[in-house]
A = this chain, B = another copy of it.
Amino acid sequence: MKQRDYSFTFGQALSQVHILEQFPLPATILEDSGAIPSQGILLVCDTNTEYIAKKIRGSQNLPLCVLECGEAGKCWTSIERIITAAKSAGLGRDGLFVGIGGGVITDMTSFAASVYMRGARLCLISTTLLGMVDAAVGGKTGFDLLGIKNLAGTFFPASHIYMPMDALKTLPSGEWKSGMAELIKTAVLDSAICNEVSRAETQVSLDKLKALGPVSIANGIPSALGELIERAVLVKGRIVEADPKEQGTERALLNLGHTFGHALEAAAGLGKLSHGEAVAWGMVRSCELGLALGITPENRAREITEIIAAYDYETAAPHPAMKDAAFFMQALAGDKKKKAGKLTFVVPDAQRAVLVSADRIEPQFLEQIIKGELQH
């Protein structure tokens, strides 16, 4: 495949995405970032992506920080390990952090780079489907605290984000599943949010996802998937450009399925459910909410729910991993996107999605939705 490059401007930061076949070479990363070896460079990965980091490093003696993998390690202790490794590697504030992995590693490496001496250089190598279509693009960084996902974080876009298709060749099935949910979300939103790039032939659509079906990579990455990833990057990038710090309503649309999803992740115990599984389930709940409010047409809700089921996600409520509805409601009430103490939900409408303030919704009604007690 030919390399494709996209440039985005997030606030004052320029962020370039490179979708390519193979892993980038250290020389390319250094040159792209404008860093020189004497300023210091640190590779960060987890035990899952260590083999990729070592492949990239090749015979060069670049310092490497290997973290435990998984959401449970998305905590201050890991951030401190990254910072300690950076200091040992002699990084100055013009030193370069290179995060190699999925969303957990890129979020944490980005956070560490954003606070290290008040901000160092940052490149990311996104190695999972979820990372490519969502986490790695847009500048959100963070780690979990007090059992709340990304309670601490910053906005700090990487200057360069590499998405090597080769990384997907060894992606475990759970990771595929986690990523597909964000692609489905993009398909629901696509026509909505950036008309400029929204032509039917390139759009991430529910029809295309239906045609693709659960991914088999026995014969390499399907070209249709590569195109969908590329398109998802563009959609996400343009939305974030319009609202880099989520101060308006544009970027908030990307939270479709996430308000319910994050609360489910917390209620299940952080790290027990994949982000994608939680978001997929959350999108079904958003459809139910939209149906009840008269915002989501019945056929639209059915189409979205069917494709989520087709990709083998749990669609029924209550979710089997949800231990306690009261804890779920508490997590929901603590959602960090609250404004003036009010929650906001994103629900699909006929074409795309809209924001709905929780003013319009009784808590008891939400509880019925998550418990599956809603009478249709």
Contact = CB atoms under 8 A, between A and B. Distances in A.
A232 B76 CA distance: 37
A118 B80 contact: no
A38 interface: yes
A315 to B, nearest CB: 30
Among A92, A118, A145, A340, which residue has the most Cβ atoms of chain B within 10 A?
A118
Nearest to A86: B151
A80 B144 CA distance: 12
A255 interface: no
A39 B341 contact: yes
A328 B116 CA distance: 21
Contacts of A38: 340-341
Interface in A1-52: 11-12, 36, 38-40
Copies of this chain, tallied across the complex: 2
Interface residues of A, number: 42
A115 B337 contact: no
A83 interface: yes
Contact of A145 (B83, B150, B337): B83
Contacts of A117: 151, 153, 336
Interface in A130-145: 140-142, 145
A153 B12 CA distance: 19
B115 A340 contact: no
Contacts of A80: 76, 145
A210 interface: no
Interface in A94-116: 94, 114-116
Given A38-B340, A83-B152, A93-B336, 20 more contacts: A38-B341, A39-B340, A76-B76, A80-B145, A83-B145, A84-B146, A87-B146, A92-B336, A93-B338, A93-B339, A94-B338, A94-B339, A94-B340, A115-B115, A117-B153, A118-B142, A118-B150, A118-B153, A119-B154, A119-B155
24 contacts: A12-B12, A38-B341, A39-B340, A39-B341, A83-B152, A84-B146, A92-B336, A92-B340, A92-B341, A93-B336, A93-B338, A94-B338, A94-B339, A114-B154, A115-B115, A115-B153, A117-B153, A118-B140, A118-B150, A118-B153, A118-B155, A118-B246, A119-B154, A154-B154
The list of the 3 closest CB pairs from A to B, nearest first, reads A117-B336, A92-B338, A38-B341
